[in-house]
Structure 1
């Protein structure tokens, strides 16, 4: 059954029966000044009441485009990921699709039932009990009272809150509210799921249950729009991806290519040079603690500087330093974090943990961490590098940013595994 929601500029009945969501040239603008925004709102209402036409396609003073001419389609059983930095317009796009706000230009076409998981439990009334909120929430998502009764026990079993089902939701922990919110949404069995960073809440057991349930729904034809700052989630769940930046559609296509483009831009953002050598000035003897890091870079086996190391290929992380004195037990440490995702630590090693205490003579010295294979997957990273001796710290580089590239499809993994293949006949 199809319906037309005129007040949300949403028309249902796409031409292709497999297309469950079609976003066509969506644009949305906001005003940075609250008082002026209220004035514009009154003017727009007055224009509509008088039968005039709003000039939605033009910006007025202090307005900006949160989204501008964004278009894409989603077919049954597909999953599309939205990537982009904060303020790119991802959440605005989801709110327009869900009908929470209206676009200024463009239209959204949907087929079937849509369930937004923009904030788990956000629609709950804190005074009502969990039981009452299940009926209220699922009815808003389109189920009849009879359907809710049939699914009630399954919802509570999934949320694992039988002991608190008749307690007010305001007494629930954030984890309990999250479990109940997700349980309500997934048991509506929608045709389209809008998921905005909600899978990052809850304990490990609950996350595993969520992913299993989502996989089952997708097998049954449910389509997904997923927003996440964790690139691994996008890569492992989504067929295609959309890259937004400042409201503009940068690229759309195969997930790995889109995520790689996003991560490359993320690494270069705000940096004159995010890859290649990091050159640092030598300190004066009065400012130095005895040793100064002067250069950080990657080199190949022949000593040539690598602008970007390649996954699965040899690479040496080189740290050049100038010592004002002899140091016989230096400890070189490296902490590597991913700039995508949640700034996760992906590597940590020190020469001391490998029982390699380095001897550094006065003058210029190059310290090398020789890696027969770069095991980092393609992406953007930052490394903290320090040299110390015992509790005495000589120098530290807080952020050496670099990208890792690849000439093969390996981004769907957490790391690169060096390997060989062999066939043994028996």
Structure 2
């Protein structure tokens, strides 16, 4: 890997200012077997020492490409999103950009100082105090002792750990160490910030402080590469993005186009399971706990089954069930999570919270939850559906997958808000 460290340009008025980061044909391979990996490592070191060939362009036995021929550029002040499923190569790419590992092929050219917000506090020495770790960490990131002294108080004020600054880091909570790591990284005035799902440290107040600091750095011309499984975070921060899939760069360009392609691929990957309909085998009275789910689906106003929901349109969640005995008050629970948002819970609904009394007699029934508007955005969702009475659980379906499409532009929203407009004179 080639890293050219140069002083950042002060003026941004030049029409053809070179990129602060350039990735050219970067590939990285790993071995799935530990013993084989150690053998290859020794063999490669020997080849380097003797001037032999390492054959970096081809795979050896049990090796695979974690990244394959990645090319992109990052301009000054640009926020670039990096999306993809687990195992797509996002973290590997960030580790290469930060200099933690070397690519097998290709070059990375950097103009300026990089601050990796990848594993906050991971590089701290646990037996050293917070004060000593600040000097060690910020010096590694490129600051002189004089510069660290000048910024020391600002770092501690930001991390809010004055009372523990002279205690060993091993006595810190994970949150305290992460806050100190974040404070060190953002106070070196980096030209490039690598952010890998690390903005969830601390309480709400500290999170707001983190976002405010990042916004200040962006205004000063700092460039970002943001990795997140939540597409809404990427859309709200990054104008452009790149999409990695199985180590290859599938698409780069406008964030909205990239996220749309990423979510479309997620839906295709789950086609067989995301049909919006599930049927379960009927249980005998001996197998049943008293009330069983037989099928789950979505219907339209006319009772026709919906394979795909539409944002803003009417839908009914229909739960076919069989009661083997009278049940006085069934509590129906529906917990919906978003697959494309990293599995985050989107909505939690129970009939008891809605003060809805559901009384069932022995026999077959259909419980219907009517939604005048589907407020879910386009994407793939997974619902956990259960039937209870009090704390006793009759039956549950842990992963009822369904798909939502949208004809409207809602990508930068967290949910769909039904609405109407009028003018009063």
TM-score of the pair, normalised by structure 1: 0.90
CA, structure 1 residues 65+106, in 2 after alignment: closer, same or farther (shift >3 Å)? same
Per the alignment, do residues 355 and 125 of structure 1 end up closer, same or farther by CA in structure 2, a change over 3 Å counting? closer
Give the C-alpha shift of residue 361 in structure 1.
Answer: 5.1
Q: What CA deviation, in whole Å up to 9, does each residue of 1:32-71 have, x standing for no partner?
A: 2222222222222232333333211100011111111122
- Runs of 4 or more above 6 Å deviation: 12-15
Q: Is residue 339 of structure 1 aligned with residue 357 of structure 2? A: no
Query: Equivalent residue for 2:330?
Result: 330
Contact 1:88–1:245 (CA<8 Å) still a contact in 2? Answer: yes
1:205-244 mapped onto 2 (5 Å cutoff): 205-244=205-244
- Greater shift, 212-221 or 172-181, is seen at 172-181
2:301–2:314 contact (8 Å) kept in structure 1: yes
Match of 2:49 in 1: 49
Q: TM-score, normalised by structure 2?
A: 0.90
DSSP 3-state at the match of 1:65: strand
For 1:127 and 1:361, the matched residues in 2 are separated by 66
**Residue in 2 aligned with 1:177?**
177
Task: Say whether residues 1:294 and 2:294 are aligned partners.
Answer: yes
Secondary structure of the residue aligned to 2:44 is helix
Corresponding residue of 2:3: 10
The structural deviation recorded for 1:317 is: 1.1
Tell whether the 8 Å contact from 1:264 to 1:403 is kept in structure 2 after alignment. Answer: no
The equivalences for 1:111-122 within 5 A come to 111-122=111-122
Partner Cα distance (1:126, 1:288) in 2: 54
Tell me the residue number matched to 2:33. Answer: 33
Can you list the C-alpha shifts for 1:69-113, whole angstroms capped at 9, x where unaligned? 122222222212222233221111011111111111111122221
Q: Is 1:138 paired with 2:131?
A: no
Correspondences of 1:293-372 after superposition (within 5 Å): 293-325=293-325, 327=327, 329-341=329-341, 343-360=343-360, 362-372=362-372
Deviates more, 1:11-20 or 1:259-268: 11-20
Rounded to whole Å, the distance in 2 between the matches of 1:349 and 1:235 is 28
Change in CA separation of 1:341 and 1:96 when aligned onto 2, cut-off 3 Å: same
SS in 2 for 1:92: helix
SS at match of 1:198: coil
Which whole-Å CA distance do the structure 2 matches of 1:35 and 1:326 have between them?
62
8 Å CA contact retained: 1:267, 1:339: no
Structure 2 unaligned blocks of 5 or more: 9-14
Deviation at 1:397, TM superposition (A): 1.3
Q: How does 1:382-393 map to 2 (within 5 A)?
A: 382-393=382-393
Q: Following TM superposition, by how much is the alpha carbon of 1:213 offset from its aligned partner in structure 2, in angstroms?
A: 0.3
User: Could you tell me which residue of structure 2 aligns to residue 156 of structure 1?
Assistant: 156
- Which residue pairs with 1:95 in the alignment? 95
Say what the alpha-carbon RMSD is for the aligned residues.
2.5
Q: Render the CA deviation track for 1:111-140: whole Å, top value 9, x for unaligned.
A: 221111111122222233222222221121
Gaps of at least 5 residues in structure 1 are: 1-7
Shift of 1:400: 0.4
Corresponding residue for residue 147 of structure 1: 147
Task: Give the Å deviation of 1:269.
Answer: 4.5
